[in-house]
A and B are shown apart, each in its own frame.
Chain A
């Protein structure tokens, strides 16, 4: 069975600094998709960034980028120039190549401090 592990239950960062959230996963699949979703306090969960496993190039979306290490089964999220609005629970998620169903990690609470 696929599992997703986020080893950092909580993290904090100063505004404007950079923070990296960790995620590891376990799968025997060769192709799959990985996602980071963000759940702000009392607000809806939204997609931050996604990565296809067969693409070696790391995905980037503005201040958000990933470090995808397929052999190590690692998928970390880097947030640059952290903003107060980045305060949220961040979930790493795995999906098979076909069949859009997500397996989530336990989440990391990120607090951005002014």
Chain B
């Protein structure tokens, strides 16, 4: 595997389910990101982790819970979601968080549908 991978690629869940999205980066980066891409809305930054420490939480509802056990893996735990949470969830990584010039590398995304 190379770059940034995400699993599953597609997920359908009911509002009472608990599921997790997984992201893995094979680039040796120190920063990882979760973005939400909804139809007809700009990408929204959700969370940022730098060296496994959460450094940004963009007023995301508590039904989304991130976890970064090491610098290569990032999870997004989902619980009691709403239909409006249906979206493409993108993971990204960059060399570090401090230097804004660094390119962010994106995964293919998980297409989430909440019924």
Residues of A near any B CB (own CB < 8 A): 4, 32-33, 37, 43-47, 50, 52, 91, 95-107
**B41–A44 touching, CB < 8 Å:** no
Q: Shortest CB–CB separation between residue A43 and chain B, in angstroms? A: 7
| B41, B42, B101, B104 interface centre (most CB from chain A within 10 Å) | B42
B104, A102: Cβ atoms under 8 Å? Answer: yes
> What is the bound-complex CA distance between A43 and B45, given in angstroms?
19
Given A43-B108, A45-B106, A46-B106, A98 and B100 contact (CB-CB distance below 8 Å): yes
Q: Does B56 contact A (CB under 8 A)?
A: yes
Instruction: For chain B, residues 40 to 56, give those with C-beta under 8 angstroms from any C-beta of chain A.
Output: 40-43, 45, 48, 55-56
B43 in contact with A91 (CB, 8 Å): yes
Interface of B: prevailing SS? loop
Closest 5 CB pairs of A and B: A45-B106, A95-B100, A104-B43, A104-B42, A47-B103
Taken together as a complex, chains A and B put the C-alpha atoms of A103 and B107 apart, in Å, by 18
B90 at the interface (CB under 8 A from A): yes
Residues of B within 8 A of A101 (CB): 33, 45, 48, 56, 97, 100
B104 touches A44 (CB 8 A): no
Task: Report the minimum CB–CB distance from B3 to chain A (whole Å).
Answer: 7
State the CA gap A46–B4 with chains docked (Å).
12
